[in-house]
Amino acid sequence: MASMLLSTLRSCPVTHSYQCLIYPFLSISVRLSVPSVQTKSKKSLARPGMKNIVLVEGVRTPFLLSGTTYADLMPHDLARAALQGLLNKTGLPKDAVDYIIYGTVIQEVKTSNVAREAALGAGFSDKIPAHTVTMACISSNQAMTSGMSGKTISTPSVGLIAAGQCDAIVAGGVEFMSDVPIRHSRKMRKTMLSLNKAKTLGAKLGLIGSIRMAHLAPELPAVAEFSTAETMGHSADRLAAAFGVTRLEQDEFALRSHTLAKKAQDAGLLQDVISFKVPGRDIVSKDNGIRPSSMEQMGKLKAAFIKPHGTVTAANSSFLTDGASAVLIMSEEKALAMGYKPKAYLRDFVYVSQDPKDQLLLGPTYGTPKVLERAGLTMNDIDVFEFHEAFAGQIMANLKAMDSDWFGQTYLGRKSKVGAPPMEKFNLWGGSLSLGHPFGATGCRLVTTVAHRLQKEGGQYGLVAACAAGGQGHAMVIEAYPQ
């Protein structure tokens, strides 16, 4: 009966703030009518005949502003550190996993399959195959779900673990922005390649003679969307403007992220961070991008992308970050057999994609209702929300989109809005804006954080959602492991 009451109230078209107002009353009435509080619409998402997949452990290197302490490393060094951290923390035998998958965005040409190089370097058995995936900012989400299911859109029923191919996998992600591949210009490359083939001295000299000053100009990795030639910050600014997100709202959200991250760091809640002795440098054990500022200070910054009237600034955007993450994922029976106490069940997930120009960063809005529907849950069932914060403006735009009936009807094909996640459950330990955002590594951080928050806060369901370049998005439901 209580759940009926809840669902009727849920379906009421009330605004978010109104919902907050009536909430105390609601919970009282629930307590009065039902002695044991069970507000979830489902007890568990376990399905008969399907393997339960669990997160055993998740770790990450400290996330550092690029160009700081990690500056002289290579990407696989960071990934190696994360993998070693995982081994240390779990005491996992080095031949106990069946497969290793890593996600990364900007590839170091020398280590294009960074998963393999890092695994070998971390001392994993050379009998364990490893591959690397890429899907922009949700690359490590893809690494995890590939391990789980091997298919992008499906229930975790037919993948490496679920299909019985593997029982234990390591997934992770790495991004290293302190060094990126900068190439010669196309013309110069062409000349150099022809030079290899030139047989006579005359031909070689002719080719060398054809080189012009302009050919020497280097080519930086594209920071823009290939299909639209628009940079992500520019798109984020337009998105924020489209949803009427003000500069003030963005700065406030960014400040909230930094403040919460600082609190979580000081309280020692960020247990996934491992210490890392950087060769030739000190031991790093803390994220270094968390810098709570004041609204006044942030207000002074000029727009970074749409000048001069834009609203996205350096302070309300995520910064370029170096970092790596790793998670150990197993079938529940294998984990238990090996004596592990799993942290959480990894349940349903979805990938979505939409217009890469005007809806580049709206992945969470599209992914959230879809994954909830798949899991048979509602927004109210979720206790822990962890959304990837690419830009404060992007988060606010997603919240507004989810809270808009017009958007829900026009673009999501729904009868009404999705509903925005309540802020008291949302990214409570900071997010990408403050902790940092190594593109390929963020997904594992989000999943591990949900698991840790569920344990700490005592909730049952958590939701991860993230946007990615290319107009793609991802969402996953995570269920607490009974403690």
Partner 1 sequence: MAGVRALGVLSRVTLRRYALYSGRNDLPRTHVNYEVKGDVAVVRMNAPNSKVNTLSIQMQNEMTEVMNELWANNAVRSAVLISSKPGCFIAGADINMIQSCKDAEEVTKLSQEGQKMFEQIEKSPKPVVAAINGSCLGGGLEFAIACQYRIATKSKKTVLGTPEVMLGLLPGAGGTQRLPKMIGLPGAFDMMLTGRNIRADKAKKMGLVDQLVDPLGPGLKSPEERTIDYLEEVAIEYAKGIVDKKIKLHKEKGMMQKIQDYVMSFEFVRNQIYKTVHGKVMKQSKGLYPAPLKIIECVKTGVEQGPTAGYLAESQNFGQLAKTSESGALIGLYHGQVACKKNRFGTPEKEVKTLAILGAGLMGAGIAQVTVDKGVHTILKDTTVDGLARGEQQVYKGLNDKTKKRNITSFQRDSILSNLTGQLDYSGLEKADMVIEAVFEDIKIKHAVLKEVEAVVSPHCIFASNTSALPIKDIAAASKRPDKVIGMHYFSPVDKMQLLEIITTDQTSKDTTASAVAVGLKQGKVIIVVGDGPGFYTTRCLAPMLAEAVRVLQEGVDPKKLDALTTGFGFPVGAATLADEVGIDVAAHVAEDLGKAFGSRFGGGNVEVLKTMVDQGFKGRKSGKGCYVYQPGLKVKEVNPEIGDILEKYKMTPNPAVSSDSDVQYRLISRFVNEAVLCLQEGILNNPLEGDIGAVFGLGFPPCLGGPFRFVDTFGADKLVEKMRQFEAVYGNQFTPCQLLLDHAKDSSKKFHK
Catalytic residue set: 137, 467
If one asks whether residue 112 binds partner 1 (CB under 8 A), the answer comes out as no
Question: Which tokens in the block code for residue 176?
Answer: 């290293």
Classify residue 136 as left (phi > 0), alpha (psi -120 to 50) or beta.
Answer: left
Binding residues for partner 1, total number by CB under 8 A:
26
- Using the contact rule CB under 8 A, the part of the chain among 72-80, 235-243, 325-333, 337-345 near partner 1 is 235-243
If one asks whether residue 192 binds partner 1 (CB under 8 A), the answer comes out as no
Q: How far is the CB of 225 from partner 1 (least distance, A)?
A: 9
- Between 317 and 449, whose beta carbon lies closer to partner 1? 317
17, 49 contact by CB (below 8 A)? no
If one asks whether residue 309 binds partner 1 (CB under 8 A), the answer comes out as yes
**Peptide bond before residue 308 is cis, with ω within 30 degrees of 0:** yes
If one asks whether residue 445 binds partner 1 (CB under 8 A), the answer comes out as no
Q: Which of residues 396-425 bind partner 1 (CB under 8 A)?
A: 397, 400-401, 404, 406-407, 410-411
- Between 58 and 367, whose beta carbon lies closer to partner 1? 367
Q: How far is the CB of 181 from partner 1 (least distance, A)?
A: 22
CA separation for the pair 60, 27 (Å, rounded): 37
Out of 2, 26, 242, 320, point to the residue binding partner 1 (CB under 8 A). Answer: 242
- Residue 220 CB burial class (10 angstroms; 0-12, 13-18, ≥19): exposed
- Using the contact rule CB under 8 A, the part of the chain among 125-133, 143-151, 234-242, 273-281 near partner 1 is 234-242
- Using the contact rule CB under 8 A, the part of the chain among 32-40, 114-122, 295-303, 351-359 near partner 1 is 351-359
Helix axes 247-266, 392-402, angle to 10 degrees: 110
Instruction: State the Rg of the chain over Cα.
Output: 24
CA separation for the pair 97, 99 (Å, rounded): 6
Helix axes 139-148, 442-457, angle to 10 degrees: 70
Q: How far is the CB of 236 from partner 1 (least distance, A)?
A: 12
If one asks whether residue 195 binds partner 1 (CB under 8 A), the answer comes out as no
Out of 40, 51, 116, 238, point to the residue binding partner 1 (CB under 8 A). Answer: 238
Q: In DSSP terms, which residues pair with 329 in a beta bridge? A: 55, 169
C-alpha closest to that of 425 among 237, 260, 313: 260
Out of 359, 378, 398, 460, point to the residue binding partner 1 (CB under 8 A). Answer: 359
366, 473 contact by CB (below 8 A)? yes
C-alpha closest to that of 92 among 338, 262, 320, 319: 338
Residue tagged 């834009």 (tokens): 310
If one asks whether residue 224 binds partner 1 (CB under 8 A), the answer comes out as no
Binding mask 4-23 vs partner 1 (x if CB under 8 A, - otherwise)?
Answer: --------------------
CA separation for the pair 338, 89 (Å, rounded): 14
Residue 143: CA count within 13 A, CB half-sphere: 40
Out of 30, 71, 163, 306, point to the residue binding partner 1 (CB under 8 A). Answer: 306
CA separation for the pair 47, 180 (Å, rounded): 44
Q: How far is the CB of 153 from partner 1 (least distance, A)?
A: 23
Q: How far is the CB of 421 from partner 1 (least distance, A)?
A: 18
If one asks whether residue 302 binds partner 1 (CB under 8 A), the answer comes out as no
478, 461 contact by CB (below 8 A)? yes
Out of 130, 137, 188, 239, point to the residue binding partner 1 (CB under 8 A). Answer: 239
The footprint of partner 1 (CB under 8 A) covers: 226-229, 234, 237-239, 241-244, 306, 309, 355, 357-359, 397, 400-401, 404, 406-407, 410-411
